[in-house]
Structure 1
């Protein structure tokens, strides 16, 4: 039976580290996923207001077939600068493609909207490039969740959002993990204010030991009000199975269903929901049935990661967290 890995983090997938960096005054931050070796990657974008960088480079029809990092950032479009900082720090380490006497790392990125929280009066010098560099320096197998990294200024409907992660090790040893900066327009909790939409997927009390919902708990939790580009959930799923780009793309597509299991509504016109998929290992896959199992596990991990992000978040910027609303 599949069970969470030792840390219940995406870094239970061997060959991955994750680094966070944040600006406490601005209530914003950056999270970087670093593979030990260049990784096969893909992406799936479902939201109506995405902010991304280097997405097309992962198209199987194009030349480049691996990436050197994935960058998730707050800051709306300003946050895309974080990937430049990640590139600069990786290049200084000699990580990237050798091109005409230079080293060029490939760092796809996605951003979320967290401008309302904190003091973001930074003038002409947004902090994201430096935060990207710091996140690379901070990378390791263990990392903070909740109000951390790209989730520092996140909100989840009416609640404080955050950074979440979860993992599963399948019965044949294949590891699958998810990392999410949960900042959705939609709700992660049912109308009762207590039950996570992802409650049935919880493992070992990882988001509070939710009981089955009471009758009526799954009613519409309330109207969604937002503005274009004002939210977005961004995520990375990974496995140590050896996938090609097409198979990684299918993993990313299936993983999006994890957002649908944890957020209602999801993929709205106001969100830029984007999921990256990474293959960082050499475990063989036998065929489409294996890809289906891996994709299913990625979706479940991503749903759990969303709930963990909200469960572990703390009050910030005038927005109450889930635990503080329970009384």
Structure 2
């Protein structure tokens, strides 16, 4: 016959539990600094509260585009035009006046370079899909990679020793291998930026293609409403304004200090944006399954 187990010592158990809890009215000690930093970096940023970094992303779109368009008539962030240009280049191989031009001309080669490197930059953004596309650590690292690409564009444009401005249409600059590298690095940075903007899913869209934003802005039901703020309207207007200012300031600096130094300023701006993600509030998840009170 088995011997019955002795009853648990409830008094000792309650005493140990009471000792492990903090005294009433005293807050529990905060977690270690390393744990707090880890939790902060791996928290998801709130896209609706990311107005500052995303608006500067739009600024950088106009800023970088002004440099590449001035040098070789290529919009490194707007790949629709480059895609159509390549289709026209292929079409010239089969139709057109004689003698037909065999091979891509220099503007077509630069458009192809911009498109391919833009896609490479967007593909690099898949790293964030594994880490978490809205996590703070990826937004910081992804923006830092953009800064590194912009700095690489600065160095290659500097050592190419070519002018920052093209001649007439069909006579672009940045025709050397280093010039192509400058265009490629600039386009790759925009591809990665577009990937980050797409994954955040904010009113700023991709921060690169503003055609959709223009249409949505003009069709917004609250377009003429005097009430403010209205996120769906105001953020789109801010994106358009920042892109315009980016192109204006980029072209002004390009004509004053040259493309290489203007790229360097752009890299510094991207570093500041990378640091700004630290202060973006984390996304607060809404409670599900709340019971309605009747």
TM-score w.r.t. the length of structure 1 is: 0.24
Choose between structure 1 and 2: higher strand proportion: 1
Choose between structure 1 and 2: higher helix proportion: 2
Q: State the structure with bigger RCO (CA 8 A, min sep 6), 1 or 2.
A: 2
Structure index of larger Rg = 2
